[in-house]
Amino acid sequence: MPSSNVKEVEHIHCFGASLRFRLLRKRPPKKVRNDFSKFQSRGPAFVSGYSDDPSVNQALTSMAAMFVVAGGVRWRERRSALRAGPSGPSTAVVGSPQETYQELVDKSEYLRDQHWTKTFHASFMGGAYVGMAGLLSLVIGGNMASEFITQKAVFAALFPINLLLVLTTGGQLFTGNSATMAIGIYEKKCTTKDLIRNWSIAYIGNICGCLLIDAVARYTGMFTGGAQEMAVHTVMKKCSATFGQTVVKGIMCNWLVCMAVWLCTMAKDLSGKMVGVWFPISMFIAIGFEHSVANMFILPAGLFSGAPLSWGDILIKNLIPVTIGNAIAGAFVVGAGMSFSFGRLGKKEDKEDKEDKEEKEDE
């Protein structure tokens, strides 16, 4: 091949290297960038043809394309090998934080595409599971102890079963979805419309599920004795705080609840999921934070048990501010925080640091 055509091959090799780095969304090394800049300065000659011989043009173009494609294939093979590890697929019982975050991103896409009837059904079941766990805690805690602090400890020990049931059966709660859908927005997988749609359906479904268990408990006469007293005492205490205090309690509560969801997602076996759920949920109950879906059950239970409050009281004094606090925690404290740590919100800073490091290495 003439020397001029050899130079053309070198130019194409440079072009292919630069393009391959761009396709992989990586910053090319300084040498490749400099060579490519010189190559670009040749102007339209590169576009119009590499030489006067059409066959040479076609051959050189094919070589450039093969270089780019082959490089991309080799990169994907190396990435797959690194992920698989030296002994095949990973058998770890706990995923990494990055893997856990990606699972939540994927879940946000799943929730986005889910038909509203399935979302409502999953949310209805989630609310019912919360109601069952709340009823269990009232019946046992209210009848086995006379002091409220002891009853609260029993409630904290028994109530976490609800989230385990929800997360292992595909149920949905507004509190968990508040973080998942927000993560989808931060990663540009969902829109604000998708978020509002999912939150609204999940919230309504949770209310219906909780009210069903309330109705069953009232019809079967379970709101009697210690359970009745505990329900009334709990509702009166929940509606005694100010609006701002209740919002803050809602923020702190859903922070812990979303951490329980995070740990449950990270765990790959049932025992790990149980441990991941139990401690954060027990924490928020023992401390006295406010969970909107749990209150969808306990507040009506208190009214059915004879608490001197109205439906308007429990909405204004508790459920509305708690819902606001839960949404803030899910969307901003956890959703934005995790996206900054492992997702798109933190990539800008990582990219700038990486470019500075590469510039220093090139020097």
Instruction: Kindly report, residue by residue over 325-336, the tens digit of the pLDDT.
Output: 999 999 999 999
- Topology of domain 97-348 in CATH is Glycerol uptake facilitator protein (1.20.1080)
Per-domain boundaries in the chain: 3-90, 97-348
Identify the residue with better confidence: 265 or 60: 265
- pLDDT tier at 227 (50, 70, 90 boundaries)? very high
Q: Are 148 and 245 in contact (CB under 8 A)?
A: no
The answer on pLDDT for 144 being more than 60 is yes
Give the Å distances, CA to CA, from 101 to 183, 304, 322.
Answer: 9, 41, 26
Check residue 352 and give its pLDDT. Answer: 60
SS (H, E, C) 198-243: HHHHHHHHHHHHHHHHHHHHHHCCCCCHHHHHHHHHHHHHHCCCCH
Confidence band for 47, pLDDT divided at 50, 70 and 90: very low
Q: Write phi, then psi, for 94 (nearest 5 degrees).
A: -130, 130
In angstroms, how far is CA 27 from the centroid of its own chain? 29
Backbone angles phi, psi at 267, to 5 degrees: -75, 140
pLDDT tens by residue, 150-164: 888 888 889 999 999
Name the residue among 54, 31, 40 with its Cα closest to residue 12. 40
Report the candidate in 241, 217, 235, 239 with the shortest Cα–Cα distance to residue 307.
235
